[in-house]
């Protein structure tokens, strides 16, 4: 509380307006915090699911590659790898949640098999290519989720600090200042009333004495 504020009605009105504004800000920030936390928890659940999917996809791709090596030999697989012509592109966009920009990652591949003649080769090679492409696509989605989680986490922390500041510092300070100013103004009004009454009584006695 700032006890140096002059106890005037204009100052009291100003502090009341500041208090009302602080309470409104608190309500809005509290709603923002709830929405951000809800979105964050949703993304965390998705990230856990995608993490498992990425690990399974990479494991399946690696298994397919090892199977291809066993069937065709390491040298043959290495030579065939040069025949695989796939280009990839990553498209980045964004969406906003309560003013926070969250990335959207889209991974696209151009080029479809078969990439080499089936003679002397195995379809396991094609399967390995397909599974690695799938794993890369999932990794793009995983990156989207992780970046979104980091950005939301930072915003949640900032919002919580603002909410706590309003709740524990700003609003109590304004409330105490309002009580202080109200008490001082009421006290001054009572003193003025007593003073005016005393002056009136003295004037009436002086008037009666002059008769």
Mean pLDDT (the chain) is 84
CA distance 176 to 195: 28
Q: Has residue 210 been placed in a domain?
A: no
Q: Is residue 104 pLDDT above 80, yes or no?
A: yes
Q: Has residue 45 been placed in a domain?
A: yes
Confidence of residue 120 (pLDDT cuts 50, 70, 90): low
210 backbone φψ class: left, alpha, beta (φ>0; ψ -120 to 50) = alpha
The position carrying tokens 């889209």 is 106
Q: Has residue 209 been placed in a domain?
A: no
pTM value is 0.72
Q: Has residue 154 been placed in a domain?
A: yes
Confidence of residue 20 (pLDDT cuts 50, 70, 90): very high
Q: Has residue 2 been placed in a domain?
A: no
Q: Has residue 148 been placed in a domain?
A: yes
Q: Is residue 122 pLDDT above 80, yes or no?
A: no
The contacts of residue 140 (CB under 8 Å, 6+ apart) are 90, 105, 106, 107
**Residue-range definition of the domain harbouring residue 136:** 9-204
Average pLDDT (122-139) is 80
Please report, for the domain that includes residue 170, its CATH number: 1.10.287.3240
Q: Has residue 17 been placed in a domain?
A: yes
Q: Has residue 193 been placed in a domain?
A: yes
Domain count, the chain: 1
Residue 194: burial class (beta carbons within 10 Å; 0-12, 13-18, 19+)? exposed
């Amino acid at each position: 509380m700032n006890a140096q504020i002059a106890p005037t009605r204009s100052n009291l009105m100003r502090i009341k307006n500041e208090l009302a504004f602080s309470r409104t800000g608190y309500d809005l920030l509290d709603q923002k915090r709830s929405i951000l936390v809800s979105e964050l928890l949703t993304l965390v659940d998705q990230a856990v699911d995608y993490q498992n999917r990425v690990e399974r996809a990479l494991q399946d791709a690696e298994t397919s590659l090892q199977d291809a090596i066993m069937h065709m030999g390491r040298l043959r697989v290495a030579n065939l790898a040069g025949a695989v012509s796939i280009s990839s592109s990553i498209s980045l966009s964004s969406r906003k949640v309560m003013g926070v920009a969250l990335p959207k990652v889209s991974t696209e591949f151009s080029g479809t098999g078969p990439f080499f003649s089936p003679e002397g080769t195995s379809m396991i090679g094609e399967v390995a290519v397909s599974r690695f492409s799938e794993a890369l696509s999932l990794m793009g989605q995983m990156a989207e989720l992780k970046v979104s989680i980091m950005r939301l986490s930072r915003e949640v922390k900032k919002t919580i600090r603002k909410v706590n500041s309003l709740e524990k510092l700003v609003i109590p300070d304004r409330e105490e200042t309002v009580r202080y100013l109200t008490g001082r103004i009421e006290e001054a009004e009572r003193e003025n009333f007593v003073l005016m009454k005393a002056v009136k009584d003295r004037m009436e006695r002086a008037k009666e004495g002059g008769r």
